[in-house]
A and B are shown apart, each in its own frame.
Chain A
Amino acid sequence: DAGVIQSPRHEVTEMGQEVTLRCKPISGHDYLFWYRQTMMRGLELLIYFNNNVPIDDSGMPEDRFSAKMPNASFSTLKIQPSEPRDSAVYFCASALTETDTQYFGPGTRLTVL
């Protein structure tokens, strides 16, 4: 298996622009998680899905952030409009079950100028 796939690996954009991050989970995994990593706040869970349904989005910082999972093999995290404080590394992870090991993708490094 190729593992969790994320794209793009790096994204540089200007403040106010829309940013879309993409994730393909490991095939057969029913759970998908979006995390954000910053120096100040460490690793934060933003949202997670079970069978394509959002279960807990309490970590989503504000309405500018949205996430979707239209099918079992694809999820997006969108920021509109983006701000410099959104600069971070965004990770996607997937797991077989809610309590099982989460496997992480390589991350997307987002820089908002």
Chain B
Amino acid sequence: AQSVAQPEDQVNVAEGNPLTVKCTYSVSGNPYLFWYVQYPNRGLQFLLKYITGDNLVKGSYGFEAEFNKSQTSFHLKKPSALVSDSALYFCAVREGYGGATNKLIFGTGTLLAVQP
């Protein structure tokens, strides 16, 4: 069965410093990987996705993520954090086309807190 893990409940970083939010996954086939961000009292907003191709994916608001097949990871990164990046971040995975299951499975979320 597919699964996704976000090992950190919270990540604290100072404004201007690089940030990393970790995500590891497990699927039986090729993964489709997504990152979403949720601001307080708002819905989830799509940041970026990996389907195939270049392992480094660039997304909205300066975020990027690197797909690492050998480590089954898809960590979210940003070179310089902003206070406005403070939010709840979700990693999600599903099996690629033709996979045994059609569901998008979400991690438990990581709260990013950027201190000024």
- A residues neighboring B (CB under 8 Å): 4, 33, 42-43, 45, 48, 55-56, 91, 93, 98-99, 101-107, 109
- B103:A42 contact, CB within 8 angstroms: no
Name which of B34, B43, B45, B104 has the most chain A CB atoms within 10 A of its CB: B43
In the bound complex, residues from chain A placing their C-beta under 8 Å from that of B42 are 106-107
**Does B49 sit at the interface, judged by CB under 8 A?**
yes
In the bound complex, residues from chain B placing their C-beta under 8 Å from that of A4 are 43
- A43:B90 contact, CB within 8 angstroms: yes
In the A-B complex, the 7 residue pairs with the closest CB atoms: A104-B43, A43-B106, A104-B44, A106-B43, A42-B108, A107-B43, A101-B46
- B43:A91 contact, CB within 8 angstroms: yes
Of the candidates A91, A98, A104, A107, which one forms a contact with B102 in the assembled complex, judged by CB atoms under 8 Å apart? A98
A84 smallest CB distance to B (angstroms): 21
28 A–B contacts, CB within 8 A, in A order: A4-B43, A42-B106, A42-B108, A43-B106, A43-B109, A45-B103, A45-B104, A48-B102, A56-B102, A56-B103, A91-B44, A93-B44, A98-B102, A99-B32, A99-B51, A99-B96, A101-B34, A101-B46, A101-B49, A102-B46, A104-B36, A104-B43, A104-B44, A104-B45, A106-B43, A107-B42, A107-B43, A109-B41
Of the candidates B41, B46, B94, which one forms a contact with A99 in the assembled complex, judged by CB atoms under 8 Å apart? B94
Of the candidates B96, B102, B104, B107, which one forms a contact with A55 in the assembled complex, judged by CB atoms under 8 Å apart? B102
Bound: A103/B43 CA distance, A: 9
In the bound complex, residues from chain B placing their C-beta under 8 Å from that of A106 are 42-43
A2 smallest CB distance to B (angstroms): 13
Bound: A109/B42 CA distance, A: 10
Apart from the given pairs A45-B104, A99-B94, A101-B34, 16 other A-B contacts in the complex at a CB distance below 8 Å: A42-B106, A42-B107, A43-B90, A45-B103, A48-B102, A55-B102, A56-B103, A93-B44, A98-B102, A101-B46, A101-B49, A102-B46, A102-B104, A104-B43, A105-B43, A106-B42
Give 1 or 0 for each of B82-116: 1 = CB within 8 Å of chain A CB: 00000000100010110000111011110000000
